[in-house]
Amino acid sequence: MLISGDREELASAALARIDALHTALTQIVLEGGNLDGIAAEVSRVLGVGVAVTSTDGRVRAEALGGDHQALLAEKDLVDPTGRVRVERIGDGAGHVSRVAAGGVELARLVAVSREPIPPDDVHALERAAAVAALLITREAAVAAVENKYQGDFLRDLLLRRTAAPAYVAEHAETFGWDLTRPMVVVVAEIDPSDDLVSGARRRQWQERFSAAWRQVATSVAPDIATVDFSSEVVTLLPLAEEDMGPVAGDDVVRRAVTAVAGDKGGGRRPFSVGVSRVASGIEDLPTAYAQARRAVEVGRRIRGGGSTTFFDQLGVHRLIALIPDTPTGAAELGAFVDDVLGPLAEATTEAADLRETLQVLLDTNFNVAEAARLQFFHYNTMRYRVSKLERLLGPLSTDPHLRLDVAVALRVLEITA
């Protein structure tokens, strides 16, 4: 049992250790150090694994030994993309401290330990989080200026406001970007939300979203251009020869999207992505940007939020989407659908059922037997349905022009419904 003098001595020693740690961390910041230095120093002094993550658990710096990583894996505290599930860390795994400044959450300081962390060490972690907040605030101020300059440059390029390609390539190199290789333009937008939140809160979502794309892009290659255009994040993903498949860039884009989305924990927002055709050089980038923007817009209208849409997969939807989203344009599309589909355009269960059968018949080139198999109908039932459809719409099985009109009308209904 500790006597009063012993307790005071231990408390004094703990306070001295906390002050020494705080002084060391402050010195790291003053000497231009980074978050890796802070994580390493906290880990050394407190004897725990340390990671500095984004508010949703994306690792920005770490000092984690093999035993610490094993503990995180054992407790299922890391998702398949490497996100630390900060919302789950508690007893038996460590402690999480908020890194905040001015009432704004900037990051998380995660301490990983099998043993309970003593109150004095928790206090030390809170002091370390305050120092980390200073460093992150400084880095954010510098990054904001750099990002604005880079964003203005890339926006001018994508909107055809820049000079000769040679100048653009040379200037891009000063940012560490390589724009001289085949690439696809990826436009990512946070999906609209009905949540009643402030503009500042939405801006926080966008900043976190942009930071996630930059981190993922850097993990693919350090010379990838990624900028935040306020309402969208634009990334120029390079393609290797093996990525030039039927849908160019499909694998590399989907890996990046998966890495950004993670397991959707930690407060991450759902988002939609549009992907351009391959841009072979700088001259192709403005057209590719327009394609990516069209893809994300039409993809969201067709599939809803959370979609990844490639421009080459839009098909006739590209043309339909060119109709202005105005009362006049909507009326014209509606009139076309009504003229072609007649009663099948109605919002009834029977009409929807017949439209589904019609789409299957179109997909199988009016192969009645195959359509019946796909819809689990008896052959005679499908023959009856074909007869009913032709009574309503005309000679679908023999008139290819009518089938084309019907197929387009179904696509219009898919977008506008």
Pairwise pLDDT comparison (217 vs 20), residue with the higher score:
217
Q: Can you tell me the mean pLDDT for 53-80?
A: 90
Pairwise pLDDT comparison (403 vs 11), residue with the higher score:
403
Residue pointed to by tokens 């198999």: 373
Confidence of residue 14 (pLDDT cuts 50, 70, 90): low
Q: What pLDDT was estimated at residue 6?
A: 53
Q: What pLDDT was estimated at residue 288?
A: 92
From the number of C-beta atoms within 10 Å of its C-beta (0-12, 13-18, 19+), residue 332 rates as middle
234 is written with which tokens? 């634009």
**242, pLDDT greater than 80:** no
**318, pLDDT greater than 80:** no
Q: Can you tell me the mean pLDDT for 367-394?
A: 92
Q: How far apart are CA 248 and CA 237, in angstroms?
A: 11
Q: What pLDDT was estimated at residue 322?
A: 67
Confidence of residue 24 (pLDDT cuts 50, 70, 90): confident
**271, pLDDT greater than 90:** yes
Q: What pLDDT was estimated at residue 2?
A: 42
Q: Can you tell me the mean pLDDT for 59-73?
A: 91
Rounded to 5, what percent of the chain is helix, strand, coil?
55, 15, 30
Q: What pLDDT was estimated at residue 347?
A: 86
Q: How far apart are CA 162 and CA 181, in angstroms?
A: 19
Q: What pLDDT was estimated at residue 273?
A: 94
272 is written with which tokens? 């939609």
**7, pLDDT greater than 90:** no
Lowest mean pLDDT among 153-162, 321-330, 338-347: 321-330
**234, pLDDT greater than 90:** yes
Q: What pLDDT was estimated at residue 184?
A: 93
| pLDDT tens digits, one per residue of 122-144 | 888 998 898 899 888 888 888 88
Is the distance from CB of 51 to CB of 62 less than 8 angstroms? yes
Average confidence score pLDDT of the chain: 86
Q: What pLDDT was estimated at residue 170?
A: 87
- Amino acid letter, 182: P
Q: Can you tell me the mean pLDDT for 394-407?
A: 90
The CA-based diameter of the chain, rounded to the nearest angstrom, is: 100
Domains in the chain: ranges and CATH = 4-138 (3.30.450.40), 159-320 (3.30.70.270), 327-416 (1.10.10.2840)
**Residue count of the chain:** 417
From the number of C-beta atoms within 10 Å of its C-beta (0-12, 13-18, 19+), residue 375 rates as middle
283, 344, 292: which is closest to 314 by C-alpha? 292
Share of the chain above pLDDT 90, in %: 29
Q: How far apart are CA 102 and CA 248, in angstroms?
A: 45
Q: What pLDDT was estimated at residue 1?
A: 47
Q: How far apart are CA 263 and CA 411, in angstroms?
A: 32
Is the distance from CB of 299 to CB of 415 less than 8 angstroms? no
Confidence of residue 241 (pLDDT cuts 50, 70, 90): confident
Q: What pLDDT was estimated at residue 248?
A: 66
